[in-house]
Amino acid sequence: MSYNAVHAFYAGDARPLAVILGTNEIASAVAVALQRAQYSVVLSHDPFPPVIRRGMSFHDALFGDQTMVEGIRGERAESMIEIARALAKPDHVAVTPLKLTDVITMRRPDILIDARMQKHRVTPDYRGIVRLTIGIGPNFTTSVNCDIAVETHPARVGTVIREGQTEAADGKARNLGNAGKERFVYSQRTGLWHTPVDIGMRVFKGFVLGHLDGVPVHAAIDGFLRGIARDATPIPAGVKIVEIDPRGRRAKWTGVDERGCAIANAVLDAIEMQAARPRALETAGAPSFH
């Protein structure tokens, strides 16, 4: 990577910078859409909640694994120099353990997207730090802790909210095949998670998937592992650690699914709306990036 490319990144002369909080599948779907829309994209990891749909996300890049989502590669970056180097490569996003406060010390992002999906936690207000803040999922209210919000509730997924708040989490899981909430396994305690299995494996009801704090965790239904927390992950109580896809040959555990695509396209729409607002123009909506 040339000195000029590094200088351009720090000086803000390169592509506009979008920082996404979270490394889960929703954050990753948004990252793919923004990268294709010619943004430099940085995903900043947050440990809560643990990421389980790892085949659909850039999360495992944090551990040095090769990660690819819809043709876009995620690369771990532990410093701003490494971030600049990763973003100079074609079809790359940077995945970092650095927090937002570390990233903005070297370059102020143009767009900040909170995609951590923290359903029951207070969401901080990052307005004023960047030109545009977008909140995804529960606990977002425009003019309170974001400029624009994107709905993730199954009945309104992908709705752009310019005034008002997103739906609160209701504890109901959307159906996937013939299974709803029963396709998930939730942590019954706090502890260190150990598992020898990985995404895409065929499992059957009762199969031991791993151990949490030394206690065995069993598959609740038959199917393919769509999501499972990474081995050696510290797990809090009451969060999802496993998801099983019961759809047989139609099971999907990689790439961007329909829900992720709808949310990612809504983010593009929100950006277009904000850009058009000073000119009082209506946006026609962003095309699907699939």
Note the pLDDT tens digit of each residue in 106-117.
789 999 999 999
CATH value at residue 221: 2.40.50.100
- Going by their DSSP bridges, the two strands 148-150 and 160-161 should be labelled as antiparallel
Q: Count the domains in the chain.
A: 2
Looking at the fold, whether 115 and 201 belong to one and the same domain comes out as: no
For residue 148, is pLDDT > 90?
A: yes
Distance, CA of 188 to CA of 192 (rounded, Å): 12
Looking at the fold, whether 67 and 156 belong to one and the same domain comes out as: yes
Looking at the fold, whether 242 and 120 belong to one and the same domain comes out as: no
The model carries a pTM of 0.91
- Sheet of 202-203, strand order: 184-186, 240-245, 223-228, 202-203
Which comes out higher in pLDDT, residue 83 or 121?
A: 83
CB 273 within 8 A of CB 282: no
Residue 64 is assigned to a structural domain of this protein: yes
Give SS3 for 235. Answer: strand
Residue 65 is assigned to a structural domain of this protein: yes
Q: What pLDDT does 169 receive? A: 85
- Chain segment 52-87, per-residue pLDDT in tens: 999 999 999 999 999 999 999 999 999 989 999 999
For residue 283, is pLDDT > 90?
A: no
For 76-80, 152-156, 167-171, 218-222, which range has the lowest pLDDT when averaged over its residues? 167-171
Residue 95 is assigned to a structural domain of this protein: yes
Q: Is the Cα torsion angle 6, 8, 12, 18 positive or negative in sign?
A: negative
For residue 6, is pLDDT > 70?
A: no
Residue 213 is assigned to a structural domain of this protein: yes
Looking at the fold, whether 263 and 155 belong to one and the same domain comes out as: yes
Distances (CA, A) of 98 to 78, 103, 104, 265: 7, 7, 10, 26
Looking at the fold, whether 157 and 221 belong to one and the same domain comes out as: no
The residues facing 160 across adjacent strands are 150
